[in-house]
Structure 1
Amino acid sequence: MSDLDAFAEVLDPPVYVVTGAAGDGERAGCLVGFASQCSIRPARFTVWLSRRNHTYRVALRSTRLAVHVLSRTELGIARLFGEETGDETDKFARVDWEPGPGGVPVLSGARAWFVGGVRDRWDGGDHVGFLLAPVAEVSAAVPGDDRTRPLRLSDVSHFTPGHPA
Protein backbone atom coordinates (compact mmCIF):
# COMPACT_ATOMS: atom_id res chain seq x y z
CA MET A 1 0.00 0.00 0.00
CA SER A 2 1.38 3.40 -0.95
CA ASP A 3 1.39 6.39 1.39
CA LEU A 4 -1.34 7.96 -0.75
CA ASP A 5 -3.46 4.79 -0.45
CA ALA A 6 -3.11 4.95 3.34
CA PHE A 7 -4.13 8.63 3.30
CA ALA A 8 -7.14 7.94 1.06
CA GLU A 9 -8.36 5.15 3.36
CA VAL A 10 -9.13 7.70 6.10
CA LEU A 11 -11.36 9.66 3.74
CA ASP A 12 -15.02 8.88 3.11
CA PRO A 13 -15.97 11.13 0.20
CA PRO A 14 -19.40 11.27 -1.41
CA VAL A 15 -19.97 9.21 -4.53
CA TYR A 16 -21.87 10.48 -7.55
CA VAL A 17 -23.62 9.08 -10.59
CA VAL A 18 -22.39 10.84 -13.73
CA THR A 19 -24.48 10.56 -16.89
CA GLY A 20 -23.99 11.75 -20.43
CA ALA A 21 -25.38 11.50 -23.93
CA ALA A 22 -23.38 11.67 -27.15
CA GLY A 23 -24.62 13.46 -30.25
CA ASP A 24 -25.71 10.14 -31.75
CA GLY A 25 -28.08 9.56 -28.81
CA GLU A 26 -25.94 6.98 -27.01
CA ARG A 27 -26.40 7.32 -23.24
CA ALA A 28 -24.11 6.25 -20.45
CA GLY A 29 -23.69 6.62 -16.72
CA CYS A 30 -21.48 5.36 -13.93
CA LEU A 31 -20.79 5.63 -10.23
CA VAL A 32 -17.89 8.02 -9.57
CA GLY A 33 -15.75 8.32 -6.46
CA PHE A 34 -13.38 11.03 -7.70
CA ALA A 35 -15.19 14.38 -8.05
CA SER A 36 -15.25 17.80 -6.43
CA GLN A 37 -16.12 21.43 -6.79
CA CYS A 38 -12.89 23.04 -7.94
CA SER A 39 -13.78 26.74 -8.30
CA ILE A 40 -16.24 29.17 -6.72
CA ARG A 41 -16.03 32.00 -9.29
CA PRO A 42 -16.54 30.91 -11.90
CA ALA A 43 -18.48 27.91 -10.61
CA ARG A 44 -16.70 24.72 -11.69
CA PHE A 45 -16.82 21.03 -10.78
CA THR A 46 -14.52 18.23 -11.96
CA VAL A 47 -15.43 14.55 -12.34
CA TRP A 48 -12.83 11.89 -13.03
CA LEU A 49 -13.82 8.98 -15.28
CA SER A 50 -11.89 5.74 -15.72
CA ARG A 51 -10.51 5.26 -19.22
CA ARG A 52 -11.83 1.66 -19.13
CA ASN A 53 -15.40 2.77 -18.52
CA HIS A 54 -18.16 2.90 -21.14
CA THR A 55 -19.24 6.27 -19.70
CA TYR A 56 -15.77 7.67 -20.39
CA ARG A 57 -16.06 6.79 -24.08
CA VAL A 58 -19.50 8.41 -24.31
CA ALA A 59 -18.34 11.45 -22.30
CA LEU A 60 -15.56 12.06 -24.83
CA ARG A 61 -18.33 12.70 -27.39
CA SER A 62 -20.58 14.65 -25.01
CA THR A 63 -20.75 18.41 -24.56
CA ARG A 64 -22.60 18.11 -21.24
CA LEU A 65 -22.62 15.74 -18.28
CA ALA A 66 -25.01 15.45 -15.34
CA VAL A 67 -23.71 14.89 -11.82
CA HIS A 68 -26.14 13.28 -9.35
CA VAL A 69 -25.96 13.03 -5.56
CA LEU A 70 -27.77 9.99 -4.20
CA SER A 71 -28.98 9.42 -0.66
CA ARG A 72 -28.51 6.20 1.29
CA THR A 73 -32.05 5.24 0.28
CA GLU A 74 -30.94 5.05 -3.38
CA LEU A 75 -28.38 2.29 -2.90
CA GLY A 76 -30.07 0.28 -5.69
CA ILE A 77 -29.42 3.06 -8.22
CA ALA A 78 -25.82 3.27 -7.03
CA ARG A 79 -25.45 -0.49 -7.42
CA LEU A 80 -26.87 -0.37 -10.97
CA PHE A 81 -24.50 2.40 -12.06
CA GLY A 82 -21.55 0.99 -10.10
CA GLU A 83 -21.75 -2.74 -10.79
CA GLU A 84 -23.22 -2.91 -14.28
CA THR A 85 -21.38 -1.84 -17.42
CA GLY A 86 -23.02 0.04 -20.25
CA ASP A 87 -21.10 -2.26 -22.59
CA GLU A 88 -23.62 -4.97 -21.66
CA THR A 89 -26.59 -3.31 -19.90
CA ASP A 90 -28.97 -0.48 -20.77
CA LYS A 91 -29.00 1.04 -17.29
CA PHE A 92 -31.57 3.64 -18.32
CA ALA A 93 -34.14 0.93 -19.08
CA ARG A 94 -33.99 0.02 -15.37
CA VAL A 95 -34.28 3.46 -13.75
CA ASP A 96 -36.60 6.47 -13.96
CA TRP A 97 -34.99 9.38 -15.77
CA GLU A 98 -35.82 12.39 -17.93
CA PRO A 99 -33.86 14.12 -20.67
CA GLY A 100 -32.18 17.21 -19.25
CA PRO A 101 -30.47 20.09 -21.07
CA GLY A 102 -28.88 18.85 -24.28
CA GLY A 103 -30.54 15.43 -23.84
CA VAL A 104 -28.36 14.49 -20.86
CA PRO A 105 -30.14 11.83 -18.76
CA VAL A 106 -31.24 13.19 -15.38
CA LEU A 107 -32.10 10.52 -12.79
CA SER A 108 -35.52 11.10 -11.25
CA GLY A 109 -34.57 9.61 -7.87
CA ALA A 110 -31.47 11.70 -7.23
CA ARG A 111 -31.25 13.74 -4.04
CA ALA A 112 -29.55 16.56 -5.99
CA TRP A 113 -28.10 17.05 -9.47
CA PHE A 114 -26.70 19.56 -11.94
CA VAL A 115 -25.86 19.54 -15.64
CA GLY A 116 -22.51 20.98 -16.63
CA GLY A 117 -20.96 21.88 -19.95
CA VAL A 118 -17.61 20.18 -20.56
CA ARG A 119 -15.02 23.00 -20.56
CA ASP A 120 -11.82 20.96 -20.54
CA ARG A 121 -10.32 17.51 -19.97
CA TRP A 122 -7.16 16.48 -18.12
CA ASP A 123 -5.15 13.29 -18.21
CA GLY A 124 -4.78 12.08 -14.66
CA GLY A 125 -3.38 8.61 -15.41
CA ASP A 126 -5.98 5.84 -15.46
CA HIS A 127 -8.72 8.50 -15.03
CA VAL A 128 -9.48 11.64 -17.07
CA GLY A 129 -10.84 14.77 -15.42
CA PHE A 130 -13.81 16.52 -17.05
CA LEU A 131 -14.10 20.18 -16.00
CA LEU A 132 -17.78 21.15 -15.87
CA ALA A 133 -19.45 24.56 -15.81
CA PRO A 134 -23.10 24.47 -14.66
CA VAL A 135 -25.53 25.10 -17.55
CA ALA A 136 -28.83 24.30 -15.84
CA GLU A 137 -30.51 24.98 -12.56
CA VAL A 138 -29.10 22.89 -9.79
CA SER A 139 -31.68 20.65 -8.17
CA ALA A 140 -30.73 20.25 -4.52
CA ALA A 141 -32.59 18.72 -1.61
CA VAL A 142 -32.68 20.34 1.79
CA PRO A 143 -30.41 18.54 4.27
CA GLY A 144 -32.43 15.99 6.18
CA ASP A 145 -32.07 13.04 8.46
CA ASP A 146 -29.61 10.17 8.06
CA ARG A 147 -31.81 8.45 5.41
CA THR A 148 -31.17 11.40 3.09
CA ARG A 149 -27.47 11.69 3.94
CA PRO A 150 -25.47 11.65 0.71
CA LEU A 151 -24.18 8.24 -0.30
CA ARG A 152 -20.49 7.87 0.57
CA LEU A 153 -17.66 5.63 -0.51
CA SER A 154 -18.02 3.49 2.63
CA ASP A 155 -21.63 2.74 1.63
CA VAL A 156 -20.56 1.25 -1.72
CA SER A 157 -17.07 -0.10 -1.00
CA HIS A 158 -18.39 -3.69 -1.14
CA PHE A 159 -19.63 -3.28 -4.75
CA THR A 160 -17.98 -5.25 -7.55
CA PRO A 161 -17.28 -2.70 -10.32
CA GLY A 162 -18.57 -3.33 -13.84
CA HIS A 163 -15.01 -2.56 -15.04
CA PRO A 164 -11.75 -2.57 -13.08
CA ALA A 165 -10.40 0.92 -12.44
Structure 2
Amino acid sequence: MYLVTAATADERAGCLVGFASQSSIDPPRFVVWLSRANRTYRVARGASHLGVHLLRRGDRAPAALFGGETGDSVDKFARVAWRPELGGAPVLDEACAWFVGRVRDHFDGGDHVGFLLEPVACSPRPPGRPQLLAFTDVSDLSPGHPA
Protein backbone atom coordinates (compact mmCIF):
# COMPACT_ATOMS: atom_id res chain seq x y z
CA MET A 1 0.00 0.00 0.00
CA TYR A 2 1.10 3.55 -0.68
CA LEU A 3 -0.15 6.83 0.72
CA VAL A 4 -0.32 9.46 -2.03
CA THR A 5 -0.61 13.20 -1.40
CA ALA A 6 -1.29 16.12 -3.72
CA ALA A 7 -1.62 19.89 -3.39
CA THR A 8 -2.58 22.88 -5.46
CA ALA A 9 -2.47 26.53 -4.42
CA ASP A 10 -5.92 26.14 -2.85
CA GLU A 11 -6.18 22.63 -1.43
CA ARG A 12 -4.46 19.45 -0.22
CA ALA A 13 -5.56 15.85 -0.46
CA GLY A 14 -4.25 12.37 0.23
CA CYS A 15 -5.37 8.75 0.13
CA LEU A 16 -4.20 5.15 0.38
CA VAL A 17 -3.64 3.45 -2.95
CA GLY A 18 -3.15 -0.19 -3.74
CA PHE A 19 -2.30 0.16 -7.42
CA ALA A 20 1.21 1.56 -7.94
CA SER A 21 4.48 0.39 -9.44
CA GLN A 22 7.84 1.36 -10.79
CA SER A 23 7.33 1.56 -14.54
CA SER A 24 10.80 2.40 -15.94
CA ILE A 25 14.42 2.10 -14.85
CA ASP A 26 16.00 4.55 -17.32
CA PRO A 27 14.58 7.09 -17.06
CA PRO A 28 13.24 6.37 -13.57
CA ARG A 29 9.44 6.42 -13.55
CA PHE A 30 6.66 5.32 -11.19
CA VAL A 31 2.89 5.13 -11.75
CA VAL A 32 0.21 5.59 -9.09
CA TRP A 33 -3.41 4.86 -9.92
CA LEU A 34 -6.03 7.12 -8.31
CA SER A 35 -9.75 6.37 -8.23
CA ARG A 36 -11.87 8.85 -10.16
CA ALA A 37 -14.29 8.78 -7.19
CA ASN A 38 -11.60 10.04 -4.82
CA ARG A 39 -11.04 13.69 -3.88
CA THR A 40 -7.28 13.09 -4.14
CA TYR A 41 -7.76 12.38 -7.85
CA ARG A 42 -9.53 15.73 -8.33
CA VAL A 43 -6.75 17.62 -6.53
CA ALA A 44 -3.99 15.62 -8.23
CA ARG A 45 -5.31 16.61 -11.68
CA GLY A 46 -4.18 20.17 -10.87
CA ALA A 47 -0.95 19.29 -9.05
CA SER A 48 2.50 19.43 -10.59
CA HIS A 49 3.96 16.94 -8.07
CA LEU A 50 2.65 14.08 -5.93
CA GLY A 51 4.04 12.67 -2.70
CA VAL A 52 4.29 8.87 -2.48
CA HIS A 53 4.75 7.42 1.01
CA LEU A 54 5.49 4.03 2.51
CA LEU A 55 4.04 3.21 5.93
CA ARG A 56 5.15 0.56 8.40
CA ARG A 57 2.79 -2.26 9.30
CA GLY A 58 2.08 -0.65 12.66
CA ASP A 59 1.16 2.76 11.20
CA ARG A 60 -2.56 2.12 11.60
CA ALA A 61 -3.57 5.70 12.48
CA PRO A 62 -2.40 7.41 9.26
CA ALA A 63 -3.59 4.42 7.22
CA ALA A 64 -7.08 4.66 8.74
CA LEU A 65 -7.17 8.44 8.34
CA PHE A 66 -6.07 8.49 4.69
CA GLY A 67 -7.82 5.24 3.75
CA GLY A 68 -11.05 5.49 5.70
CA GLU A 69 -11.90 9.20 5.68
CA THR A 70 -12.64 11.55 2.79
CA GLY A 71 -11.12 14.97 2.43
CA ASP A 72 -14.55 16.14 1.29
CA SER A 73 -15.55 16.24 4.97
CA VAL A 74 -12.30 15.94 7.01
CA ASP A 75 -9.08 17.99 6.92
CA LYS A 76 -6.69 15.05 7.14
CA PHE A 77 -3.65 17.32 7.24
CA ALA A 78 -4.86 19.00 10.44
CA ARG A 79 -4.46 15.59 12.12
CA VAL A 80 -0.90 14.71 11.03
CA ALA A 81 2.52 16.34 11.02
CA TRP A 82 3.56 17.22 7.47
CA ARG A 83 5.55 19.69 5.43
CA PRO A 84 5.50 20.89 1.82
CA GLU A 85 8.22 19.47 -0.44
CA LEU A 86 9.07 20.15 -4.07
CA GLY A 87 6.11 21.44 -6.04
CA GLY A 88 4.20 21.85 -2.78
CA ALA A 89 3.61 18.10 -2.44
CA PRO A 90 2.73 17.32 1.20
CA VAL A 91 5.17 14.91 2.88
CA LEU A 92 4.06 13.19 6.08
CA ASP A 93 6.51 13.04 8.99
CA GLU A 94 5.22 9.58 10.03
CA ALA A 95 6.12 7.95 6.73
CA CYS A 96 8.76 5.24 6.80
CA ALA A 97 10.02 6.51 3.44
CA TRP A 98 8.73 8.85 0.73
CA PHE A 99 9.48 10.36 -2.64
CA VAL A 100 8.08 13.28 -4.57
CA GLY A 101 7.38 12.79 -8.24
CA ARG A 102 6.81 15.39 -10.94
CA VAL A 103 3.64 14.49 -12.84
CA ARG A 104 4.69 13.66 -16.42
CA ASP A 105 1.44 12.25 -17.82
CA HIS A 106 -2.00 10.74 -17.05
CA PHE A 107 -3.44 7.44 -18.32
CA ASP A 108 -7.08 6.40 -18.43
CA GLY A 109 -7.44 3.02 -16.78
CA GLY A 110 -11.22 2.87 -16.40
CA ASP A 111 -12.35 3.80 -12.89
CA HIS A 112 -8.72 4.71 -12.02
CA VAL A 113 -6.33 7.15 -13.68
CA GLY A 114 -2.60 6.49 -13.77
CA PHE A 115 -0.26 9.34 -12.89
CA LEU A 116 3.19 8.85 -14.39
CA LEU A 117 5.76 10.31 -11.99
CA GLU A 118 9.38 11.33 -12.41
CA PRO A 119 11.01 11.07 -8.95
CA VAL A 120 12.67 14.37 -8.04
CA ALA A 121 13.20 14.13 -4.25
CA CYS A 122 13.23 11.33 -1.69
CA SER A 123 13.74 10.54 1.96
CA PRO A 124 16.84 8.77 3.21
CA ARG A 125 16.61 5.00 3.04
CA PRO A 126 15.10 3.63 6.27
CA PRO A 127 17.43 1.55 8.42
CA GLY A 128 17.11 -2.21 8.28
CA ARG A 129 14.25 -3.90 6.44
CA PRO A 130 11.03 -2.44 7.85
CA GLN A 131 7.84 -4.44 7.52
CA LEU A 132 5.67 -2.32 5.25
CA LEU A 133 1.92 -1.78 5.30
CA ALA A 134 0.18 -4.29 3.04
CA PHE A 135 -3.38 -4.65 1.77
CA THR A 136 -4.10 -7.36 4.36
CA ASP A 137 -3.28 -4.81 7.11
CA VAL A 138 -6.03 -2.43 5.92
CA SER A 139 -8.55 -4.76 4.26
CA ASP A 140 -11.00 -4.07 7.09
CA LEU A 141 -11.12 -0.32 6.32
CA SER A 142 -14.14 1.04 4.49
CA PRO A 143 -13.15 3.59 1.85
CA GLY A 144 -13.79 7.21 2.73
CA HIS A 145 -15.65 7.74 -0.53
CA PRO A 146 -18.30 5.66 -2.32
CA ALA A 147 -16.90 3.38 -5.02
Normalised-by-shorter TM-score class: over 0.9
Structure 2 gaps, min length 5: none
The amino acid across from 2:7 in the alignment is A
Structure 1 gaps, min length 5: 1-14
Q: Give the TM-score normalised by the residue count of structure 2.
A: 0.96
Match of 1:93 among 66, 78, 99: 78
The Cα shift of 1:142 comes to 2.5
The Cα shift of 1:164 comes to 3.0
Provide, for residues 124-161 of structure 1, a one-character-per-residue CA deviation record: whole Å limited to 9, x for no partner.
Answer: 000000000011134331333xxx30100000000010
1:69 matched residue in structure 2: 54
Closer/same/farther in 2, CA of residues 131 and 56 from structure 1, 3 Å limit: same
Q: How does 1:144-163 map to 2 (within 5 A)?
A: 144=129, 148-163=130-145
Q: Give the TM-score normalised by the residue count of structure 1.
A: 0.86
Asked whether the equivalents of residues 63 and 117 of structure 1 are also in contact (C-alpha less than 8 Å), the reply is yes
Counterpart check, 1:19 vs 2:1: no
Higher-strand-fraction structure: 2
Question: Structure 2: how far apart are the matches of 1:164 and 1:140?
Answer: 35
The amino acid across from 1:16 in the alignment is Y
The Cα shift of 1:25 comes to 3.1
The amino acid across from 1:139 in the alignment is P
| Count of aligned pairs between the two proteins | 147
Q: Bigger shift: 98-107 or 62-71?
A: 98-107
Q: Please tell me whether Structure 1 or Structure 2 has the larger radius of gyration of its CA atoms.
A: 1
The amino acid across from 2:10 in the alignment is G
Percent identical across equivalent pairs?
Answer: 61
Question: Structure 1: how far apart are the matches of 2:124 and 2:3?
Answer: 14
Over the aligned positions, Cα root-mean-square deviation in angstroms equals 1.0
Provide, for residues 64-113 of structure 1, a one-character-per-residue CA deviation record: whole Å limited to 9, x for no partner.
Answer: 00000000121110000000000000000001111111211100010010
Higher-helix-fraction structure: 1
2:110 matched residue in structure 1: 125
